[in-house]
């Protein structure tokens, strides 16, 4: 392991906003913050929003700065990536930001029923041919349901048409209420989405962030002319979630993207470059 990565890990230990559960706490579902995030970590009753697979934390940090009336938790297993977002939050005193280092497979071990209002899935691996690992699969939807409030929203922002189409089919198959669906948020779908009043417990600023905030990977995809998709739906469901019946073969090529017009570039208003 490189010296720089070791340095980041050491600094992570000093960040108040960084939560790194032990293996026993995760496996036994007995982390002290489970059910107590509002009271013991944030010190308020504001809605909690998770970003799953947050990487460097660009989205988590930017959303938190736009919406001080909501609490944001970025979740990822890569400590060296989380270091950047956590360091920025620490330096700037962002009290409504936390970063949680854990595998998303164990996420329901760390939050109690009704503790979370919304989930963002941003640029996740589409897991071609591996449905059980896909973050919008029935397996993961059941995990989210365990801690989402009634009416809890799942947002998906991705460059992968495969993941977008699968997730939309999953929502339809399970009679979930789809709030918005678009395959080109910076192009042909922009005005329709922006004017539709997309739903979020954190208000209009969170909606505008959909267009104004880019993750590290998103900026790379846009530079290649790859279109960015968006889907949001309400996770409420009785009984087991089931796998969708959909035309998987039509989207199986991982490089089957929607190609957006060249020159699209949007940067976060807050998050630093580099």
Looking at the domain assignment, is residue 267 inside a domain? no
Half-sphere exposure of 89 (CA within 13 A, CB side): 32
What DSSP character marks residue 246?
-
Q: Which residue has the tokens 């365990």?
A: 146
Q: Give the integer Cα–Cα distance in Å for 239 and 257.
A: 34
Q: What is the pLDDT of residue 260?
A: 46
- Strands 116-122 and 148-158, sheet pairing: parallel
* Distance, CA of 171 to chain centre: 17
| Residue 58 resides in a domain | yes
Judge contact between 48 and 37, C-beta under 8 A: yes
Instruction: Count CB atoms within 10 A of the CB of residue 158.
Output: 24
DSSP characters over 104-150: GGGGGGSS-TT-EEEEEEES----TT-GGGSTTSHHHHHHHHHHEEE
pLDDT of residue 163: 96
Tens digits of per-residue pLDDT, 222-235? 888 888 999 999 99
pTM: predicted TM-score of the whole model, two decimal places: 0.90
Q: Is residue 96 part of a domain?
A: yes
Alpha carbon distance 137, 114 (integer Å): 20
Query: What is the reported pLDDT for 187?
Result: 85
List, for residues 178-216, the tens digit of each pLDDT value.
998 999 888 888 788 777 767 787 776 666 778 888 777
Q: 228-271, pLDDT tens digit by residue?
A: 999 999 999 999 999 999 989 888 875 555 544 444 434 444 44
pLDDT in tens, 69-87: 999 999 999 888 899 999 9
User: CB under 8 Å to 178, separation ≥6 — which residues?
Assistant: 168, 171, 172, 231, 232, 233
Residue at 68 is within a domain: yes
pLDDT digits (tens, 9 = 90+) for 14-43: 889 999 999 999 999 989 999 999 999 999
Residue 3 C-alpha from the chain's centroid? 29
Residues with catalytic function: 125
Nearest to 183 by CA among 227, 222, 150, 241: 227
Q: Mind listing the pLDDT tens digit for each residue in 2-22?
A: 778 888 888 878 889 999 999
**Domain CATH code at residue 230:** 3.40.50.150
Q: How far apart are CA 51 and CA 57, in angstroms?
A: 9
In a domain, 117, yes or no: yes
Domain that residue 240 falls in: 3-251
Contact 64, 97 (CB under 8 A): yes
28 is a domain residue:
yes
- Is residue 146 in a domain? yes
Predicted local confidence at residue 264, as pLDDT: 41
264 in any annotated domain: no
Please state the domain count of the chain. Answer: 1
Distance separating alpha carbons of residues 116 and 118, to the nearest angstrom: 6
Q: How far is CA 42 from the centre of its chain?
A: 19
Per-residue pLDDT, averaged over 93-114, amounts to 96
Closest Cα partner for 242 from 133, 137, 121, 126? Answer: 137
């Amino acid at each position: 392991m490189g010296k720089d990565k070791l340095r980041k890990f050491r600094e992570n230990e000093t960040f108040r906003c960084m939560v790194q559960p032990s293996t026993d706490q995760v496996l036994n579902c007995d982390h002290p913050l489970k059910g107590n995030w509002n009271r013991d970590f944030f010190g308020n009753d504001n809605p909690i929003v998770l970003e799953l697979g947050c990487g460097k934390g660009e989205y988590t940090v930017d959303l938190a700065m736009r919406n001080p009336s909501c609490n944001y938790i970025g979740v990822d297993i890569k400590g060296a990536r989380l270091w950047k977002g956590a360091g920025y939050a620490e330096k700037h005193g962002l009290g409504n930001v936390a970063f949680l280092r854990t595998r998303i497979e164990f996420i329901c071990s760390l939050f109690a029923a009704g503790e979370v209002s919304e989930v963002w899935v941003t640029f996740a691996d589409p897991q071609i041919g591996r449905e059980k690992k896909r973050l919008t699969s029935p397996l993961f939807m059941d995990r989210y349901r365990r801690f989402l409030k009634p009416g809890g929203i799942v947002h998906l922002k991705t460059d992968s048409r495969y993941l977008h189409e699968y997730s939309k089919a999953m929502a339809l198959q399970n009679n979930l209420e789809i709030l918005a669906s678009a395959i080109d948020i910076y192009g042909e779908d922009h005005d329709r989405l922006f004017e539709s009043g997309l739903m979020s417990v954190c208000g209009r600023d969170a909606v505008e962030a959909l267009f104004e905030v880019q993750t590290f990977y998103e900026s790379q995809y846009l530079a290649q002319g790859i279109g960015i998709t968006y889907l949001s739906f309400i996770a409420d469901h009785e009984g087991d979630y089931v796998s969708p019946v959909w035309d998987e073969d039509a989207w199986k090529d991982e490089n089957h993207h929607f190609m957006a017009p060249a020159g699209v570039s949007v940067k976060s208003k807050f998050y630093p470059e580099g």
